[in-house]
Amino acid sequence: MTEDPELEALRQKRMQEVQAQQANQAAQEEKAQQFENQKQSILRQILTPEARGRLANIKLANPEQANMIEMQLIQIAQSGRLQSVITDAMLRDILQKITPQQREIKIERR
C-alpha cells in the first residue's frame, strides 16, 4: 500500500502546526510562572508574614479579589507611596477601603 505524497505532506504540515502550538503554549505558561514569581517576591518584601497569611486566606475564598488586591499593593509599592512594610492591621484598613460596602438585606414578613 503506497502512501499518497499529498496526504503525507498534509500530515507533516499538521504535525508542525501542533508542535508550534505546544511550544507557544509552553512559552506562555513559562511567562505566566515568571510573572507570578516576581509578584510573590515583591509581596514578600512589602508584607509582613501575618499580612501575607491574611492575603492567602482571601485568595482561597476569592481568588479574583485577591489578585486585584495584590496588583494594587504592588502598584502602591512601585509608585513610592509605601513608607514601610504593610502590617496585618494596615492590610485590614486597606481592604476596608478597597472592598465595596455590602448592602444589608432585610426581609420583612407580612
Has residue 51 been placed in a domain? yes
Has residue 107 been placed in a domain? no
- CATH number reported for the structural domain that contains residue 13 in this entry: 1.10.8.140
pLDDT for the residue 1: 54
Has residue 108 been placed in a domain? no
Helix (H) or strand (E) holding 105: none
Looking at residue 84, what DSSP letter applies? S
Least confident of 22-26, 34-38, 103-107: 103-107
pLDDT in tens, 46-81: 999 999 999 999 999 999 989 999 998 899 888 888
Has residue 109 been placed in a domain? no
Domain with 80, as residue range(s), is 5-98
Q: How many domains does the chain have?
A: 1
Has residue 72 been placed in a domain? yes
Taking the C-alpha atoms of residue 51 and residue 53, their distance in angstroms, rounded to an integer, is 5
